[in-house]
Chains A and B, each alone.
Chain A
Amino acid sequence: GEDVEQSLFLSVREGDSSVINCTYTDSSSTYLYWYKQEPGAGLQLLTYIFSNMDMKQDQRLTVLLNKKDKHLSLRIADTQTGDSAIYFCAEKPGANNLFFGTGTRLTVIP
């Protein structure tokens, strides 16, 4: 089955860049997604990338996709304390269901 892996924790200082990494298994995934979850809340869509793209930039967010290595990353520029949350990557291999990684807890140190 699908196995999406992420490191569990990341700490950065306010103002630095954060890079959250993800590896996925299904090369047929058409889209790959990044979601953010704050305490007690649902999942907020941050961005997504189509599998035939290498990079996508959206304001402070940059997504890089290495399809050969099945590696996805999310870079947050100028990280703020409000960015502290759990970040999930997800793949959608075919049918309309998402397979999520374990989530990376980002802590921003003031």
Chain B
Amino acid sequence: KAGVTQTPRYLIKTRGQQVTLSCSPISGHRSVSWYQQTPGQGLQFLFEYFSETQRNKGNFPGRFSGRQFSNSRSEMNVSTLELGDSALYLCASSSPQGSDTQYFGPGTRLTVL
């Protein structure tokens, strides 16, 4: 089975712009979670989607949003970018069986100038 894929791998944006990141889960996985990783705050949970519905949300401002499509692919959007949004954004997919283990993609490295 192919793993979790994320596109693009790298992005450079300027303050005030918006950005959309994409995640394709492992085939058959219906849950997609997003995390932000920064040197200062570590790994923090953004939100989780399951069957096209946001099921869980972390403590991030409304500028961070996401959605999930019927094929389980997910996108996250950040509007009005700030310098502090520079981070590695990781997507994980899981199957709602057993351990619900989350499998991560390679991440999208976002740099805000």
| Chain A residues at the B interface, C-beta cutoff of 8 Å | 31, 33, 35, 41-45, 48, 50, 88, 92, 95-103
Inter-subunit contact B55/A95 (CB<8 Å) = yes
- 27 pairs of residues in contact across A and B, judged by CB atoms under 8 Å: A35-B104, A42-B104, A43-B90, A43-B104, A44-B104, A45-B102, A48-B101, A50-B99, A92-B100, A95-B48, A95-B55, A95-B56, A96-B33, A96-B48, A96-B50, A96-B56, A97-B33, A97-B45, A97-B58, A98-B33, A98-B45, A98-B92, A98-B102, A99-B45, A100-B42, A100-B43, A102-B42
Identity of the chain A residue whose Cβ is nearest the Cβ of B44 in the assembled complex: A100
Q: How many residues of B contact A (CB 8 A)?
A: 25
CB contacts between A and B, total, < 8 Å: 58
| Chain B residues at the A interface, C-beta cutoff of 8 Å | 4, 6, 31, 33, 35, 42-43, 45, 48, 50, 55-56, 58, 90, 92, 94, 99-107
Shortest distance between the CB of B109 and any CB in chain A (Å)? 8
Q: Is the interface of A mostly helix, strand, loop or mixed?
A: strand
Identity of the chain A residue whose Cβ is nearest the Cβ of B4 in the assembled complex: A42
Most interface-central of A44, A45, A98, A103 (chain B CB within 10 A): A98
Identity of the chain B residue whose Cβ is nearest the Cβ of A50 in the assembled complex: B99
Inter-subunit contact A31/B100 (CB<8 Å) = yes
- Complex: A9 Cα to B58 Cα, angstroms: 28
Inter-subunit contact B99/A31 (CB<8 Å) = yes
Identity of the chain A residue whose Cβ is nearest the Cβ of B100 in the assembled complex: A96
Shortest distance between the CB of B43 and any CB in chain A (Å)? 4
